Amino acid sequence: MMSAEQALFHIAFYKFVELDDVDAVVERVRTLTRELLGSVLLAGEGINGVLAGAAPALDAFEQALLQDARFAGIVFKRSACRTAPFARIKVHRKREIVAFGVDGVSGLKLSVEADSHVSPQAWRELIARDDVVLLDNRNSFEWRLGRFNKAIDPQVANFRDFAAYVQAHAPQWQAGHKRVAMYCTGGIRCEKTSAWMQGLGLEVYQLEGGILNYFQSMPDAAADWQGECFVFDNRVALDTRLQETATTAEQVYAGDPDEAWRLERARRLDAAGEP
């Protein structure tokens, strides 16, 4: 593990790619992350991870992963840390790398699907249009803490609730000739749902790399964003410069009985030294 004097960094990454040998990849990633802390999920549809450590250890992990042709082009979003995000490493096999809860929906792309990605530079112009519905593809407590200006809260307590909201509103959006621009923290939720939404007949666009990529790419991101960005680790929240804020888990969840379990979980994990 890193010494006390080394600077600490966080990386987030994912890629939807067909993996036929998931168990073998799990073992490989466990070997690659011995000097790191965080969590990596692997499934037949790809990889999804968040890790923290010293820069040399993260560099070595990234280079080793990129040597696997299946992960070519994977993007690592990196930021400096003041608080250690995690206290141990977990690498697990799952049925999905992000659970959507709709049978038959995978993040693996078909050649017939239209490319829905929008760069951070083009995103600002897109969401300013009158014919665009700006949809936050995160949980409601995340939306309350911070969001793009004029973004709609889909009122979900769990990602699995998102499908019902979209299905209920799709006819209205179509009747109004609205396009849907959606975003999430790192991009993975939008990646999982974009093709499914296209299948409902919607014209969908997703912010490439999510909020974290927008903050990283746009020096004046604060012009389009209000509040902070929640992150699922011990840092709790980041500002538009990817700097940790003073916001606590108690402040994030306070006053919402439906989120009490999240606060209790955050307290338990912090006390137990888990990510």
- For the residues 166-193, what does the mean pLDDT come to? 96
Nearest to 184 by CA among 175, 176, 193, 171: 193
pLDDT at 273 (0 to 100): 40
pLDDT at 255 (0 to 100): 62
Distance separating alpha carbons of residues 78 and 213, to the nearest angstrom: 9
pLDDT at 104 (0 to 100): 74
Calculate what percentage of the chain has a pLDDT beyond 70: 88
Do 91 and 42 contact (CB within 8 A), yes or no?
yes
Q: Which helix (H) or strand (E) holds 66?
A: helix 55-66
- For the residues 193-222, what does the mean pLDDT come to? 95
Residue 274's pLDDT band, with cuts at 50, 70 and 90, is very low
Concerning whether 229 is annotated as a catalytic residue, the answer is no
Residue 5's pLDDT band, with cuts at 50, 70 and 90, is low
Mind listing the pLDDT tens digit for each residue in 153-170? 999 888 878 999 999 999
pLDDT at 160 (0 to 100): 78
Do 181 and 194 contact (CB within 8 A), yes or no?
no
pLDDT at 6 (0 to 100): 76
Residue 17's pLDDT band, with cuts at 50, 70 and 90, is very high
Residue 220's pLDDT band, with cuts at 50, 70 and 90, is very high
Mind listing the pLDDT tens digit for each residue in 232-243? 999 999 999 999
Distance separating alpha carbons of residues 212 and 34, to the nearest angstrom: 26
Do 16 and 108 contact (CB within 8 A), yes or no?
yes
Give the chain's mean pLDDT: 89
Q: Given a cut of 70, is residue 271 above it in pLDDT?
A: no
Q: Determine which of 47-56, 107-116, 180-189, 256-265 has the lowest per-residue pLDDT on average.
A: 256-265
Domains parsed from the chain with CATH numbers: 9-93 (3.30.70.100), 117-262 (3.40.250.10)
Q: Determine which of 128-132, 158-162, 252-256 has the lowest per-residue pLDDT on average.
A: 252-256
**Measured between alpha carbons, how far apart are the two ends of the chain, in Å?**
16
pLDDT at 103 (0 to 100): 76
**Annotated catalytic residue, options 81, 184, 190, 229:** 184
